[in-house]
Amino acid sequence: MALVLNEEEQMLRDAAKGFLSEKAPVGALRKLRDDDDPLGWSRDLWSQMADMGWAGILVPEEYGGIDYGMVGAGLIAQEMGRNLTASPFISTALMAVTALREGSVEQKEKWLPGIAEGKTIIAMAVDEGVKHDPAKTALSAVAHGNGYRLNGEKSYIIDGFDADALIVAARTSGEAGDEAGISLFIVEKDAVGMSSSRTKLLDARNYAHSEFTDVDVAGDALIGTLDDGFALLERVLNVGRVGLAAEMLGASEQSFDMTMDYIKERKQFGTRVGAFQGLQHRAAHLYSEIELVKSAVLKALQMFADAPEMSGAGAALAKAKAGEVAILAANEAVQMHGGIGMTDEYDIGFYMKRVRAAQELLGDYAFQANRLAVLRGF
């Protein structure tokens, strides 16, 4: 497929751009942070996004969604990145839906319509340590009665606080570090023995830490195949990785634009600082890097439909490159703004904090680079 947007995709992007810059700009995130909002995102806003079809963008039409696919989803994520919009889009609408699409008819009927309506929030509970490493899953699920009993902990669960359910990666056989022996379970919010608390990170978004003590779930809480959940988990994570890559692309573009505007106006030594070649060459380099990210992200988005067998490599590429460049863009933005870039009053710091988190989530540069090297045979 050509690496350009078609007319319909351009319309979707323009609609997202218009809506988000009006309803959910950086100021909205600042307010959520300053108000110490318990959720970290706005239910009212999410409901409006659901009305536009965004919550159900990957949900099949028979379950109330629009089943538009990942290219459109990526465009929305990109605009969310431009505006630093806080929402459960990547956690619920992209990742949880990807997992549930592989679930039973009963699971789909139970959860997907609520997600598409913007009423139900489901988060993926994967990581347990300080670095993303899904194969290291240790939280145990053992057969118990007609179902399973879960014990262990999950941390840094994206949008996991106050979620209606968690999709939990659990070890049903083998040992931490094995890809085999991992299974996915959906655990509802009110499950006995599960306690969750919010973890505040630098980006002011919603993350949870959950403890599972003899949490019993029924047999039908299993999503996909017992012991064989890693491939599905990887597909879910790849969707999330590319979603985050698209978000970071948008954040890079916006912080870059803000920086160019600034250095065209700011005067020192009697001239506009954007006239200095020392800044110009760095700006031109960063521009080039962002162009590369655009290509990698668009290709990775297209691969989910066009070349699913390549989507793991594509996700690694997009997440790595977008993360690297987003960090560069944020660092250059603060440096080129000078002192004002260090102030909380100015928005640029919000970009620096969000991309720092986003590049770490679901695997940082080194994680993705290692995956790609393995896939490329070295």
Partner 1 sequence: MSDLEPFRIETRAWLEENCPAEMRKPMRSEDDACWGGRNAKFSCEAQKVWMDRMGAKGWTAPEWPSEYGGGGLSHEQAKILKEEMSAIKARSPLMSFGIWMLGPALLKYGTEEQKKHYLPQITRGEIRWCQGYSEPGAGSDLASLQTRCDDKGDHFEITGQKVWTSYADRADWIFCLVRTDREASKHLGISFILFDMESEGVSTKPITLISGRSPFCETFFDQVKVPKENLVGTLNKGWDIAKYLLTHERAMIGDAGDGGVGGRSIGQIAVDSLGSDAQGKLADSALRADLARAEIDGWSFMLTMERMKDEAKAGQGIGARSSMLKYYGTELNKRRYELLMASKGHAALEWEGEASRDGELPRMWLRTKANSIEGGTSEVQLNIISKRILGLPAS
C-beta of 189: minimal distance to partner 1 in Å?
A: 39
Question: Of 232 and 300, which has the nearer Cβ to partner 1?
Answer: 300
| Window 42 to 61, contacts with partner 1 (CB under 8 A) | none
Rule CB under 8 A: say whether 296 interacts with partner 1: yes
Rule CB under 8 A: say whether 376 interacts with partner 1: yes
Neighbours of 166 (CB within 10 A): 27
Among 14, 284, 309, 310, binds partner 1 (CB under 8 A): 284
Rule CB under 8 A: say whether 31 interacts with partner 1: no
The C-alpha atoms of residue 208 and residue 210 are separated, in whole angstroms, by 6
Among 317, 336, 361, 362, binds partner 1 (CB under 8 A): 317
What does DSSP say about strands 165-171 and 122-125: parallel, antiparallel, or unpaired? Answer: parallel
Pick the stretch among 119-127, 129-137, 199-207, 278-286 that binds partner 1 (CB under 8 A): 278-286
The C-alpha atoms of residue 106 and residue 129 are separated, in whole angstroms, by 33
Rounded to 10°, the helix 277-306/70-83 angle is 150
Among 213, 225, 295, 335, binds partner 1 (CB under 8 A): 295
Q: What is the dihedral of CA 80, 87, 315, 59, to 10 degrees?
A: -110
Rule CB under 8 A: say whether 327 interacts with partner 1: no
| Window 3 to 22, contacts with partner 1 (CB under 8 A) | 3-4
The per-residue b/e assignment along 15-26, b for 16 or more CB within 10 angstroms, e otherwise, is ebbebbeeebeb
Place of tokens 């803000």: 258
Rule CB under 8 A: say whether 288 interacts with partner 1: yes
Rule CB under 8 A: say whether 292 interacts with partner 1: yes
Rule CB under 8 A: say whether 66 interacts with partner 1: no
Q: Among 158, 299, 306, 354, which residue's Cα sits nearest to residue 237?
A: 158
CA 182 distance to own-chain centroid = 22
The C-alpha atoms of residue 348 and residue 251 are separated, in whole angstroms, by 10
Rule CB under 8 A: say whether 241 interacts with partner 1: no
Pick the stretch among 94-102, 224-232, 286-294, 304-312 that binds partner 1 (CB under 8 A): 286-294
Rule CB under 8 A: say whether 321 interacts with partner 1: yes
Token pair recorded at residue 333: 């933005």
Question: Of 25 and 174, which has the nearer Cβ to partner 1?
Answer: 174
Q: Among 190, 228, 232, 220, which residue's Cα sits nearest to residue 109?
A: 220
C-beta of 63: minimal distance to partner 1 in Å?
A: 34
Q: Are 23 and 47 in contact (CB under 8 A)?
A: no
In Å, what is the CA distance from 91 to each residue of 22, 200, 377? 23, 17, 31
Rule CB under 8 A: say whether 205 interacts with partner 1: no
Among 135, 138, 283, 310, binds partner 1 (CB under 8 A): 283
Question: Of 51 and 175, which has the nearer Cβ to partner 1?
Answer: 175
Question: Of 345 and 378, which has the nearer Cβ to partner 1?
Answer: 378
Token pair recorded at residue 83: 């505006």
Rule CB under 8 A: say whether 287 interacts with partner 1: yes
Q: Among 286, 349, 364, 298, which residue's Cα sits nearest to residue 84?
A: 349
Q: In the stretch 248-277, what mask flags binding to partner 1 with x, by CB under 8 A?
A: ------------x--xx------xx-xxxx
Neighbours of 316 (CB within 10 A): 26
Rule CB under 8 A: say whether 374 interacts with partner 1: yes
Rule CB under 8 A: say whether 131 interacts with partner 1: no
The number of residues that bind partner 1 (CB under 8 A) is 42
Which residues here bind partner 1, judged by CB under 8 A?
Answer: 2-4, 260, 263-264, 271-272, 274-277, 279-281, 283-285, 287-288, 291-296, 298-299, 317, 320-321, 324, 366, 368-370, 372-374, 376-378
